[in-house]
């Protein structure tokens, strides 16, 4: 705080003001800025004046050599060359003074600007910290974005290398293997092997065809065997059905014969009994 007050006091001594005048810090900063602006305008004016003087000196010293020799021949008492030399010397002296004044004003302006920057740094330290943090955060975000972009590019390149089409296969073999099944049903398991897993030769394809033919023959033979067994079963059933009525008829005949014989025996016994009663 003491350094800030000392800085304002030094600024107050540099800017034009009346003795005893009380100025606030904001007024001191405003007048300092106005004073710097006026110094810059004065510098511009002096530079223009310096340029004009340089042009005038060049015009005076830029006369042709023939004219100079003619003036040297005609030189006498009361020649105007002395006056021109004095005038050129005065111009050089003025240029030196102007240059010194410009250097002085430049040094004063640089000192004032440095004091203003130091005061702003003391008055707004938090703002400077926030700005520095924002700049640092932006740099970190930019670095993270660049790293993420590089990572994505590497992943895309890796995926492209993995997704390249494989070489065209020469064979697409299909292997059909009959699965074990009960006599009533027949199932065939079809296993298709991709070109990336198995590469079969012509002999393998021929063997697969032989396996298919054997499976078909096995199925046809099993079906013929089942049909033959079914016909035999039906013939046995028909024979058993036909034999059942004949057996029933023979049983009925034997029953009737037995009843007839019983009746005859009874009729024989009844007369004998009647004769013995008296």
Report DSSP letters for 212-223, one per residue. HHHHHHHHHHHH
Nearest to 177 by CA among 223, 220, 212: 212
Asked whether residue 178 is domain-assigned, the answer is yes
Mean pLDDT, range 201-224, rounded to an integer: 76
Asked whether residue 277 is domain-assigned, the answer is no
Alpha-carbon dihedral angle through residues 87, 91, 92, 93, given to the nearest 10 degrees:
100
pLDDT score of 237: 75
The continuous run of DSSP H or E covering 189 comes out as strand 188-192
Q: Are residues 97 and 28 in the same domain?
A: yes
pLDDT score of 275: 40
pLDDT score of 39: 85
pTM for the predicted model, two decimal places:
0.27
Q: Are residues 27 and 62 in the same domain?
A: yes
pLDDT exceeds cutoff 50 at 216: yes
Question: pLDDT for 13-45, tens place per residue?
Answer: 777 766 666 777 788 788 888 888 888 888 888
- The rounded distance, in Å, linking the Cα atoms of 251 and 263 is 19
Q: 186 pLDDT band (50/70/90 cuts)?
A: very low
Mean pLDDT, range 136-148, rounded to an integer: 88
Mean pLDDT, range 114-135, rounded to an integer: 75
Q: Are residues 41 and 83 in the same domain?
A: yes
Which residues lie across from 177 on neighbouring strands? 189
Mean pLDDT, range 56-66, rounded to an integer: 66
Q: How many domains does the chain have?
A: 3
Domain that holds residue 215: 174-271
């Amino acid at each position: 705080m003491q350094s800030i007050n000392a800085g304002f006091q030094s600024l107050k001594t540099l800017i034009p003001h009346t003795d005893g005048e009380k100025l606030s810090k904001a007024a001191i900063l405003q007048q300092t800025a106005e004073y710097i602006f006026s110094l810059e305008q004065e510098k511009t004016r002096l530079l223009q004046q310096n340029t004009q003087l340089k042009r005038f000196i060049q015009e005076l010293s830029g006369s042709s050599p023939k004219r100079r020799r003619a003036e040297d021949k005609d030189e006498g008492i009361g020649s105007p060359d002395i006056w021109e030399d004095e005038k050129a010397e005065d111009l050089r002296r003025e240029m030196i003074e102007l240059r010194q004044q410009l250097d002085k004003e430049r040094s004063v302006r640089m000192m004032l600007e440095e004091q203003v920057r130091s005061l702003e740094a003391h008055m707004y330290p938090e703002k400077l910290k926030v700005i520095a943090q924002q700049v640092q955060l932006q740099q970190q975000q930019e670095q993270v974005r660049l790293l993420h972009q590089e990572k994505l590019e590497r992943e895309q390149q890796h995926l492209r290398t993995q997704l390249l089409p494989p070489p065209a296969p020469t064979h697409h073999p299909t292997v059909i293997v009959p699965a074990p099944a009960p006599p009533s049903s027949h199932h065939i398991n079809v296993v298709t092997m991709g070109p990336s897993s198995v590469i079969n030769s012509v002999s393998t394809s021929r063997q697969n065809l032989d396996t298919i033919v054997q499976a078909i023959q096995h199925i046809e033979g099993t079906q013929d065997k089942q049909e033959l067994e079914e016909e035999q079963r039906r013939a046995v059933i028909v024979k058993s059905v036909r034999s059942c009525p004949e057996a029933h008829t023979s049983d009925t005949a034997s029953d009737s014969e037995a009843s007839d014989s019983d009746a005859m025996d009874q009729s024989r016994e009844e007369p004998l009994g009647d004769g013995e009663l008296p």
